[in-house]
Each structure stands twice: as structure tokens, then as C-alpha cells.
């Protein structure tokens, strides 16, 4: 997997002036920690929830990820559009949960791990305004065999903790799991 210097890429960047300013502040932070932007795609862009389904105006307007050379930390900058609300002006809790699940999936790709989320535990600490731009930070805490444990946090534009997450990711052969599931369905038809 290649890393690139942080650049202004229209596909990943935000158009609205305030969100662009927040993104620039987050870019300075991740660059100061020696992180470089990931070259995508880590996932296929077609038929993917984040890169195809939600990557539209007023939904997920920006999703950029960064890591250091050691791959010991991952950051993502995510911009939520106005149609991602639960309550008016507040990001839907399921959107932040999906963001963290996607984020942990990217962490696993960065680390060369294929598999699935086995468990995702969230603690909501503060609302996330919507629309807004947030910074997600995560680390791999430990691994035992096929199991990998991660911690992640979503920060708002003033640096407050909004959501904390713990994730158990289980290494698996995705192609074989998919083939077994399809085979089982075909047998019941």
C-alpha cells in the first residue's frame, strides 16, 4: 500500500468554506504527526456503502485517511452533509457507528488483515453537529491469533471527544466465507 503527501484532491475535499477550513486544521494536525494520506482504493468504489452509496453531496462529502510509516495510528477526516441528521442539526448515531466500522475496516486493510467486524462497542459522549467535519483517530491495541482489538475516537472541530469505540476484528478468508454463504442459500432454494 502506498502513502502520498497530503494533497488537495477534488475527490476527497470539501467544497463549503467553513468545512474546508476545519479540514485544513485537521490536515495540519495529522501532518504534524508524520502521517501521509492513503492512496485509495482500499475497498472497491462500486457497490460500497461509503465510496459509492454515501459519497455524495449532503451525505458523506469527504472521507480521507492518513497513517504514519509504522502504521501504528490511523486518522480519517470525515465531512457529513446536512442529510445525515437524526434529529435536526444532529448527526444520526448510526452514521457515526457506520463511520467507525468503516474506519476500523480501513485500519485492517492498512495492516494487511482481511476479515470482519466481530464486535463494535460505542460510547456516545457528545452530539456531533450536522453538517460538520470530524477527525477520527484509531490504534490497534492488541492481537491474539485471528482476533485484533482496536480503539477509536471521533473528535469534533473544537477537539472534543464525541464518540469512543472499541472493535474486535476477526481475520477470515472473505472469499471462502462469501462462497459458503452463497452455497448455503442456493441449497435452500
For the domain that residue 111 is a member of, what is the CATH number?
3.10.129.10
Residue of 4, 44, 34, 37 lying closest to 23 (CA atoms): 37
pTM: 0.85
Task: Report the pLDDT value the prediction gives residue 179, as an integer from 0 to 100.
Answer: 84
Asked whether 102 and 134 are in contact (CB, 8 A), the reply is no
Q: How far apart are CA 32 and CA 160, in angstroms?
A: 19
Cβ neighbours of residue 106 closer than 8 Å, sequence gap 6 or more: 38, 42, 43, 65, 74, 76
3-state SS class at 68: coil
Query: If you search the block for the grid coordinates 452509496, which residue do you land on?
Result: 53
Domains contained in the chain, number: 1
Helix (H) or strand (E) holding 104: helix 93-110
Task: Report the pLDDT value the prediction gives residue 183, as an integer from 0 to 100.
Answer: 83
Task: Report the pLDDT value the prediction gives residue 44, as an integer from 0 to 100.
Answer: 59
Residue 15 is classified by DSSP as -
Task: Report the pLDDT value the prediction gives residue 152, as an integer from 0 to 100.
Answer: 98
Compute the radius of gyration of the chain from its Cα atoms: 17
Domain of residue 129 covers: 3-188
Task: Report the pLDDT value the prediction gives residue 4, as an integer from 0 to 100.
Answer: 53
Strands (E), 110-175: 115-124, 132-144, 147-155, 161-171
Task: Report the pLDDT value the prediction gives residue 42, as an integer from 0 to 100.
Answer: 61
Cell numbers linked to 5: 503527501
Sign of the dihedral defined by the CA atoms of residues 78, 83, 86, 90, in that order = positive
Residue of 84, 93, 76 lying closest to 59 (CA atoms): 84
Positions in the chain whose pLDDT score sits under 70: 1-15, 40-46, 51
Residue 99 is classified by DSSP as H
Amino acid at each position: 500500500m502506498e502513502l502520498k503527501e497530503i494533497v488537495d484532491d477534488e475527490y476527497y475535499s470539501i467544497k463549503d468554506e467553513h468545512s474546508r477550513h476545519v479540514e485544513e486544521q485537521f490536515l495540519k494536525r495529522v501532518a504534524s504527526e508524520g502521517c501521509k494520506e492513503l492512496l485509495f482504493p482500499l475497498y472497491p468504489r462500486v457497490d460500497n456503502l461509503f465510496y459509492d452509496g454515501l459519497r455524495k453531496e449532503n451525505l458523506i462529502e469527504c472521507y480521507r485517511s492518513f497513517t504514519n510509516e509504522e502504521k501504528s495510528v490511523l486518522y480519517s477526516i470525515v465531512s457529513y452533509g446536512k442529510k445525515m441528521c437524526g434529529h435536526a442539526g444532529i448527526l444520526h448515531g448510526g452514521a457515526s457507528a457506520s463511520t467507525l466500522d468503516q474506519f476500523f475496516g480501513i485500519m485492517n486493510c492498512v495492516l494487511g488483515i482481511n476479515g470482519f467486524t466481530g464486535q463494535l462497542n460505542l460510547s456516545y459522549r457528545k452530539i456531533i453537529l450536522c453538517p460538520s467535519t470530524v477527525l477520527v483517530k484509531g490504534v490497534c491495541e492488541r492481537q491474539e491469533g485471528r482476533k485484533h482489538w482496536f480503539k477509536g475516537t471521533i473528535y469534533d472541530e473544537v477537539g472534543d471527544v464525541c464518540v469512543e469505540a472499541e472493535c474486535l476484528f476477526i481475520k477470515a478468508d472473505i472469499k471462502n466465507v462469501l462462497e459458503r454463504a452463497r452455497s448455503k442459500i442456493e441449497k435452500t432454494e
